[in-house]
Amino acid sequence: MNRRDFIQQSLLASCGIAAGALALDSCSKPSSASPAPSAPTVNFTIDISTSQYNALQVNGNYLYANNVIIARDNSGNFVALYQVCTHAGCTVQFNGTNQFPCPCHGSVFSESGAVLNGPASSPLKKYNTQLTGTQLHVWG
């Protein structure tokens, strides 16, 4: 093998390795999924007697505030979770009873933020809630 052949063989070999690495990389990630941003720390209070937030006076309703989905479940408990799905960043919803489905790819989260159904594999951050009169404090 002369020098020219050696260089050609080396280039072909390195291109094959690079192509293989790209193929493996693309196979290891779900299509169009990118990591969701990490959940922020929050500390805010909303007044559920105001028109902006009074949906929370009824069991089964929910709303969004400061990147948090706040739901009143079918038992009347307040649940606050980070609203950004851990799969690829879509905004989760509330099913009116006790689960938080993501409309994009079918993930479902429990009231604790745990994954009930993938493709998401990480839980949603859960925040604390405390109702005093009509003031709902959300923090964590």
Q: Where along the sequence are the contacts to ligand FES (CB under 6 A)?
A: 85, 87-90, 102, 104-107, 119-120
Residue of 129, 130, 133, 86 whose CA lies nearest to 108: 86
Q: How far is the CB of 57 from ligand FES (least distance, A)?
A: 28
Taking the least distance from each CB to ligand FES, the nearer of 20 and 106 is 106
And the tokens for 58?
């009824």
State the Cα–Cα distance between residues 41 and 97, nearest whole angstrom. 26
Q: How far is the CB of 36 from ligand FES (least distance, A)?
A: 7
Residue of 76, 91, 81 whose CA lies nearest to 140: 81
Taking the least distance from each CB to ligand FES, the nearer of 63 and 115 is 115
State the Cα–Cα distance between residues 96 and 56, nearest whole angstrom. 11
Q: How far is the CB of 24 from ligand FES (least distance, A)?
A: 22
Taking the least distance from each CB to ligand FES, the nearer of 55 and 104 is 104
